[in-house]
Every structure is written in C-alpha cells, then in structure tokens.
C-alpha cells in the first residue's frame, strides 16, 4: 500500500525528492530508505507502464552487488543466468571473450523489466512513497537552501519541500531541461542507425550472447531466460517497427549470423518490437546546487557495450552514499565530488560503447572502415591482451 503523500494545496516535506521511477530513481529511493532517509518518488507514467517497459538485460558484477545491498536480489538470485563469456562473430572468424578467465568475473543476465518490478515491490512493501502518473513535475529553487518540487495529480496541484532533488527522469525528463543553459555543457555523438529489437518466447540460439558483425550489418542474439530471446538487428534509424514484420526480421537476422547460429535459430511471434536509436550523450556537471542528475538524465550510451543500466545504478549508489554521509556524519565532500567521480566512470563507458559500436556495425559505403574493423577483430581474436581489454570494460571492472 502506498502511503498518503499530500492533499491538494498542502505542502509536505521529504528529505529527498526523486523524479523518475526507473532503475536509478527506484534504487536510490530503496538505498536511502534502508539508511533511514525519507524520499518521495514522482513518476510520470503508470505503474503498469513502468513495470512492462522492455529494455536492458546484462548486469555487471557491481550491479548485482548493489541489488543485493538494496535487498532486492531474491528473485534475481533464483532466476538470473550467469554468463562466463560472450562471442563476437565476424566474416569467417569468431572469438569468445572469456570474462571469467580474462577479467575475473562473469556477467548476469536478468531483465531490466524484472529489476524494476523487484524494486517497486520492495519500495511499496516498505510503505515507500511513489506517486505514479504525477504530471507537470517541476524542480524549483534548487540553487538555494530550500528546494521544492511541484506537480499535479488527478487535476490537483501539490508541493513538496525538500533538502535535495534527484533528477532520475531519463533522457527526456524535466530535471536536466530546467538547468539554465549557461550552467551545463552537452556532448553528443550520434550514428545514422539504430537497433530493431524483438522479444520472443523462443529458446536462445546459444548459451551465451553472440555479437555478430555481418556483411549486411550488426546483429545481437541475447536472452532473458532459457525460453525467452531478445534479438536485435542494425537498421536505419528512420525505419519503423511496422516496416519489419516478424518474418522479415527473422530472415534478416539469420543472414547476419554465423552459419552454426543461423542453423540453430528458432523463430516465433514477437512479443515486443521496437527501434532504439544509438547515440552517446553526456551532460556536465551532474550537480546543480541541490539538484543531482543520475542515470539517463545525465548520459546515454549506445547499448552495444551493455552499459546504460549499469551506469544508472552506479550513479544511484554513488548519490545514495554521498547523501548518507551527509545525513549521518555531516560530510559535504562526497556530495561535492559526486559529479566528478561519476563522470570519470561515465566517460570510460562512453568510450567503450562508442568503440564497440564502431567495431561491429556497418557504416554504409565505407570500405576502408570495414577493412579496419576486420583487422581489429582478428587482432582481438589472436591477442590475449586485446581480449582482456574487451573483457575488463565489459564487466565494468576498470579502475
Ligand atoms: C528502447 C531502449 C532500449 C534499451 N536497451 C538497452 C540495452 O539493451 N542495454 C543497456 O544497457 N541499456 C539499454 N537501454 C538503456 C537503459 O535501459 C537505460 O540506461 C536505463 O533505463 C536508465 O535508467 P534510468 O533510471 O536512468 O532512466 P529510465 O529508465 O529512463 O527512467 C526514467 C523514469 O523517469 C520517468 N520520467 C521521465 N520524465 C519524467 C517527468 N517529467 N516527471 C516524472 N517522471 C518522469 C520515466 O517515465 C521513467 O520511468 C535502453 C534504453 C531504451 C530507451
């Protein structure tokens, strides 16, 4: 049951107001709650919508540890898949990146959809305040000592006074947008293609992920469980899912996979189909007085390196630790260094995701790039040092 937040016209107080109930906002709320810090989460969408959203699924070891710390790992520990490595296929070649032997740890495959459901269930079972379908959310006065957030719900206006505001509202949210232009620097790099993703109740092609640099473009065979596949093909960003009936998608995927995987592919009706653009985007800094940005609100990476969700929860944990140090010990330094320390991690992930995208996708009419890609992929296949670089970045354990 959700606790009462406020009646129309009434001003309520919370130590931290969190805008957005994605993985970053929900995890932040849960970690703060466990430390005795009061939060209210304001979410634009309905609970049903948020819990059904299909997105990422590869978790770094650090993310798994954070979900355990947040006491939301029970279902993950029961249902998740552990992957000791993944495969990169290219032309006639193929290499397996052995994460465990090269970087010392596996990755965990567990859907962002499940993580979101686990976090919402945990917040609500602890009587946490999440206001779904909160409209016209506006962070105010965050450069002074008395930040506040206003919103509308069921046609009524509400106001929450707080110490801090956490902008966890994704790339199209209100938090970053309300920062004055002269206070923020934006860095962006886009490519003219996206990923067409299909979720299907079909067994995965193999036990581990297959990243394939096909002559016709990139493809990825991923999964959510032994019975549920998540597969992608590179498509022009201008395409729409309607242009890709299931049969066309499966035919194209098969053409882009190595022979053994193409032969093992089992197809079925799509449960979900969407196109995600591929872009890198970073906003600096990530703090503006009492307003802190976390997750996609501050940065976006192409999904190739499986970093978006992992970065979002890392930001949430860093912000939780800084706020806990502030409330428990009166320390300001962790809050003051939040932006700088997050951005170091963010730029490492941006670099890796950009590099891995450039290595495995087709860039039209660019025969020179294609030759370089193959030379570098052959180098990775032949060199333990080069494979180690990939493995370390993939599991997110680079200091
Ligand atoms: C289609 C798609 C596919 C993706 N696939 C992958 C993948 O395969 N691998 C990977 O690593 N990453 C992937 N990502 C990225 C990954 O899902 C994100 O990095 C992750 O969701 C970031 O979490 P977050 O909590 O920061 O933001 P979000 O998950 O975007 O959550 C933000 C929340 O804020 C809410 N909100 C927005 N505006 C407002 C407002 N004004 N007021 C109140 N609430 C608001 C939103 O409704 C949302 O619930 C994908 C992203 C997309 C969009």
* Mean pLDDT, residues 87-110 taken together: 95
What is the structure's pLDDT at 165?
98
Is residue 168 within 6 Å of ligand 1 at its C-beta?
yes
What is the structure's pLDDT at 91?
83
What is the structure's pLDDT at 1?
39
Q: Which of 153, 158, 299, 307 is catalytic?
A: 307
DSSP code at position 282: E
* Mean pLDDT, residues 119-146 taken together: 96
Question: Among residues 117, 118, 153, 129, which one has the least CA distance to residue 29?
Answer: 129
The CA distances from residue 82 to 66, 115, 280, 312, in Å, are 16, 16, 28, 21
* Confidence bin at 9 (pLDDT 50/70/90): low
Can you read off the two tokens belonging to residue 235?
């498509």
**How crowded is the C-beta side of 230, counted as CA atoms within 13 Å?**
22
Q: What is the mean pLDDT of the chain?
A: 95
Please state, as a whole number, how many other Cβ atoms lie within 10 Å of the Cβ of residue 164.
Answer: 25
What is the structure's pLDDT at 399?
52
pLDDT in tens, 345-389: 999 999 999 999 999 999 987 899 999 999 999 999 999 999 999
Alpha-carbon gap, residue 220 to 210, rounded angstroms: 6
What is the structure's pLDDT at 3?
52
Residues 6+ apart with CB under 8 A from 48: none
Beta strands in the chain (DSSP E): 11-19, 39-42, 58-59, 81-83, 85-90, 93-98, 107-109, 129-131, 135-140, 148-153, 156-167, 185-200, 210-214, 217-225, 228-236, 270-284, 287-288, 291-293, 299-300
Does the pLDDT value for residue 209 go beyond 90? yes
Alpha-carbon gap, residue 62 to 364, rounded angstroms: 37
pLDDT in tens, 26-49: 999 999 999 999 999 999 999 999
- Environment class of residue 304 by beta-carbon count within 10 Å: exposed (0-12), middle (13-18) or buried (19+)? buried
Q: Are 24 and 308 in contact (CB under 8 A)?
A: no
Percent of the residues in the chain that have a pLDDT greater than 70, as a whole number: 97
Ligand 1, residue 294: give the atom nearest the CA.
26
* Mean pLDDT, residues 62-76 taken together: 98
Q: Would residue 303 show up in a list of annotated catalytic residues for this protein?
A: yes
Does the pLDDT value for residue 92 go beyond 80? no
Does the pLDDT value for residue 123 go beyond 50? yes
Question: Among residues 172, 138, 166, 167, which one has the least CA distance to residue 152?
Answer: 138
Q: Would residue 269 show up in a list of annotated catalytic residues for this protein?
A: no
CA–centroid distance, 113 to ligand 1, in Å, is 11
Q: Would residue 158 show up in a list of annotated catalytic residues for this protein?
A: no
pLDDT in tens, 266-304: 999 999 999 999 999 999 999 999 999 999 999 999 999
Give the strand pairing for 129-131 and 39-42: parallel
Is residue 23 within 6 Å of ligand 1 at its C-beta?
yes
Does the pLDDT value for residue 140 go beyond 70? yes
What is the structure's pLDDT at 7?
58
* Mean pLDDT, residues 230-237 taken together: 97
pLDDT in tens, 305-350: 999 999 999 999 999 999 999 999 999 999 999 999 999 999 999 9
Q: ∠339-340-345 over CA atoms, to 5°?
A: 95
Q: Are 285 and 343 in contact (CB under 8 A)?
A: yes
pLDDT in tens, 242-266: 999 999 999 999 999 999 999 999 9
pTM of the complete model: 0.95
Ligand 1, residue 173: give the atom nearest the CA.
38
Give the bridge partners for 225, in sequence order: 228
DSSP code at position 36: T
Q: Would residue 172 show up in a list of annotated catalytic residues for this protein?
A: no
Q: Are 233 and 256 in contact (CB under 8 A)?
A: yes
Alpha-carbon gap, residue 18 to 149, rounded angstroms: 10
DSSP secondary structure of 298-367: TEE--GGGS-HHHHHHHHHHHHHHHHHHHHHH---HHHHHHHHHHHHHHHHHHHHHHHHHHHHS--TT-H
């Amino acid at each position: 049951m959700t606790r009462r937040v406020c009646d129309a016209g009434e001003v309520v107080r919370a130590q931290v107001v969190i805008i957005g109930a994605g993985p970053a906002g929900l995890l932040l709320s849960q970690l703060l709650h466990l430390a005795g810090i009061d939060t209210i989460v304001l979410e634009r969408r309905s609970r049903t919508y948020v819990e059904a959203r299909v997105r990422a699924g590869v978790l770094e070891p650090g993310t798994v540890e954070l979900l355990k710390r947040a006491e939301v790992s029970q279902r993950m520990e029961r249902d998740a898949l552990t992957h000791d490595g993944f495969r990169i296929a290219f032309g006639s070649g193929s290499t397996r990146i052995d994460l465990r032997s090269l970087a010392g740890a596996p990755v965990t495959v567990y859907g962002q959809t499940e993580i979101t459901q686990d976090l919402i269930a945990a917040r609500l079972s602890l009587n946490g305040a999440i206001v779904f379908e909160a409209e016209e959310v506006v962070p105010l006065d965050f450069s002074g000592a008395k930040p506040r957030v206003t919103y509308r719900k069921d046609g009524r206006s509400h106001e929450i006074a707080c110490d801090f505001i956490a902008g966890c509202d994704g790339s199209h949210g209100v938090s970053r947008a309300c920062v004055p232009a002269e206070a923020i620097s934006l860095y962006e790099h886009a490519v003219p293609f996206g990923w067409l993703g299909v979720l299907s109740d079909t067994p995965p092609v193999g036990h581990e992920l297959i990243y394939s640099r096909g002559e016709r473009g990139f493809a990825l065979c991923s999964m959510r469980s032994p019975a549920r596949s998540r597969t992608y093909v590179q498509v022009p960003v201008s395409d729409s899912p309607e242009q890709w009936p299931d049969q066309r998608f499966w035919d194209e995927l098969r053409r882009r996979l190595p022979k053994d995987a193409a032969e093992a592919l089992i197809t079925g009706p799509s449960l979900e189909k969407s196109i995600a653009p591929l872009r890198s985007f970073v906003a600096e800094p990530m703090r503006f007085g009492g307003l802190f940005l976390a997750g996609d609100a501050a940065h976006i990476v192409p999904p190739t390196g499986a970093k978006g969700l992992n970065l979002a929860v890392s930001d949430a944990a860093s912000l939780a630790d800084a706020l806990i140090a502030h409330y428990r010990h009166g320390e300001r330094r962790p809050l003051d260094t939040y932006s700088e320390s997050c951005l170091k991690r963010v730029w490492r992930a941006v670099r890796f995701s950009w590099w891995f995208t450039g290595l495995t996708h087709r860039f039209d009419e660019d025969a020179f790039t294609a030759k370089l890609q193959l030379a570098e992929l052959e180098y990775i296949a032949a060199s333990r040092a080069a494979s180690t670089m990939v493995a370390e970045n993939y599991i997110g354990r680079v200091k």
